[in-house]
Amino acid sequence: MRRLLLLALVTVLPASAGAQIIRRGGMPFQEPSAFVSFGVGLLQPFDVADGSTNSVWNFSDATQFAVALEKNFGGSASLGVRGTTARVPLQYSGISGGDASIVTDADANVSQLLGSLHISPGGQFHTVLELSAGATFYYNFKARGSDISVGPRGADTDFSFGFGYGVGYNLSPRFSVDVVQDQITTLHQKSGLSAGTSTSARLTATRIVGRFGLGARPR
């Protein structure tokens, strides 16, 4: 009888352990239902000609901050919104009071609100592609070293579109670090400008992003 019990235990225990290993090993990872990301980057110099104030804004480089929230649709694609902001130094060149020219150093806020499609194939080391469209806002122009306002009185809003590309590395199934370069084209209003003056500007920014997965996407 003892021999039969020992034989039964020897037979059942390995089978039970094997079943547990299979269950653990076969348990699929549930994708996040959403992603939130925070980034910081360098916004490169660009120029804007503004007919409403009869001026040119020669923006310098600046630190740009970004945050995004996206819903995961599976298939390595997520859709959401991204916001960026930067306090950018510039040389403001304009005409005031007829023929009197003004050239002064100033600072202004440059912010963006964009709808964004994020595509990133699975894998620990991966590529990143983002397609974006939305608006760029120029506001709060102040002469440097004083509280004197220059430029537009309110926010000047331009339609914007572009793309970003880069690479990333998954440190865990729910956290990755990406390096992305954005190429965003903005379209400024034509009113008050001569026919040969360009109304588009190219905003180039390179950012490092921490991306966090939230929740669990239903299967």
Query: What domains, with CATH codes, occur in the chain?
Result: 31-214 (2.40.160.20)
What distances in angstroms separate CA 108 from CA 42, 54, 147, 185, one per listed residue?
16, 17, 12, 19
Mean pLDDT of 138-163: 92
Q: How confident is the model at residue 9 (pLDDT cuts 50, 70, 90)?
A: very low
From first CA to last CA, the distance across the chain in angstroms is 49
Mean pLDDT of 59-63: 97
Q: How confident is the model at residue 100 (pLDDT cuts 50, 70, 90)?
A: low
C-alpha–C-alpha distance, residues 136 and 67, integer Å: 15
Q: How confident is the model at residue 28 (pLDDT cuts 50, 70, 90)?
A: low
pTM: 0.82
Per DSSP, helices labelled H in the chain are 2-26
For residue 166, is pLDDT > 60?
A: yes
Residue 29 is predicted with a pLDDT of 57
Percent of the chain at pLDDT exceeding 90: 65
Q: How confident is the model at residue 122 (pLDDT cuts 50, 70, 90)?
A: confident
Residue 205 is predicted with a pLDDT of 98
Of 111-115, 116-120, 171-175, minimum mean pLDDT range: 171-175
For residue 57, is pLDDT > 50?
A: yes
Residue 97 is predicted with a pLDDT of 59
C-alpha–C-alpha distance, residues 144 and 178, integer Å: 35
C-alpha–C-alpha distance, residues 48 and 202, integer Å: 9
User: What is the tens place of the pLDDT at every residue in 66-97?
Assistant: 999 999 998 889 999 999 999 999 999 987 65
| Half-sphere exposure at residue 68, Cβ-oriented, CA atoms within 13 angstroms | 29
C-alpha–C-alpha distance, residues 97 and 142, integer Å: 19
C-alpha–C-alpha distance, residues 52 and 196, integer Å: 16
